[in-house]
């Protein structure tokens, strides 16, 4: 049995593919961490004590695309949106 060594052009392509895969996994991990930690912080920040300092009857929160960020919506209609609470 004769083993062939990989051609010289395939080695850089493999390295590039591994590097791209690692970069994508890293970006995905950072994105998931940002969203998870941001969601925890949003849950803490969006309390029944509204942005104006008054006590609210209800508050809802979630992600907003326009403008982008975590959004708190209080019962009186006041909203607060931030990329990081």
Decide if 46 is inside a domain: yes
Q: What is the pLDDT of residues 66-78, one digit of tens each?
A: 999 999 998 888 8
Amino acid 3: pLDDT: 66
Decide if 29 is inside a domain: yes
> pLDDT: is 56 or 52 the higher one?
56
Decide if 60 is inside a domain: yes
Decide if 27 is inside a domain: yes
Q: How many CB atoms lie within 10 A of CB 42?
A: 20
Number of domains in the chain: 1
Decide if 1 is inside a domain: no
**Do 74 and 50 contact (CB within 8 A), yes or no?**
yes
Decide if 55 is inside a domain: yes
Q: What is the pLDDT of residues 17-55, one digit of tens each?
A: 999 999 999 999 999 999 999 999 998 888 877 556 678
Q: How many CB atoms lie within 10 A of CB 30?
A: 10
Decide if 2 is inside a domain: no
Range of the domain at 73: 10-82
Amino acid 29: pLDDT: 98
Decide if 25 is inside a domain: yes
Amino acid 4: pLDDT: 63
Decide: helix, strand or coil at residue 26. helix
Amino acid 52: pLDDT: 62
User: What element of type H or E holds 61?
Assistant: strand 59-65
């Amino acid at each position: 049995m004769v083993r062939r060594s990989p051609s010289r052009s395939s080695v850089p392509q493999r390295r590039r593919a591994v590097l791209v895969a690692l970069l994508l996994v890293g970006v995905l991990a950072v994105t998931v961490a940002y969203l998870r930690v941001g969601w925890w912080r949003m849950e803490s920040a969006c309390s029944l004590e509204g942005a104006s300092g008054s006590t609210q009857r209800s508050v809802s929160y979630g992600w907003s695309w326009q403008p982008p960020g975590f959004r708190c919506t209080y019962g009186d209609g006041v909203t607060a949106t931030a990329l990081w609470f």
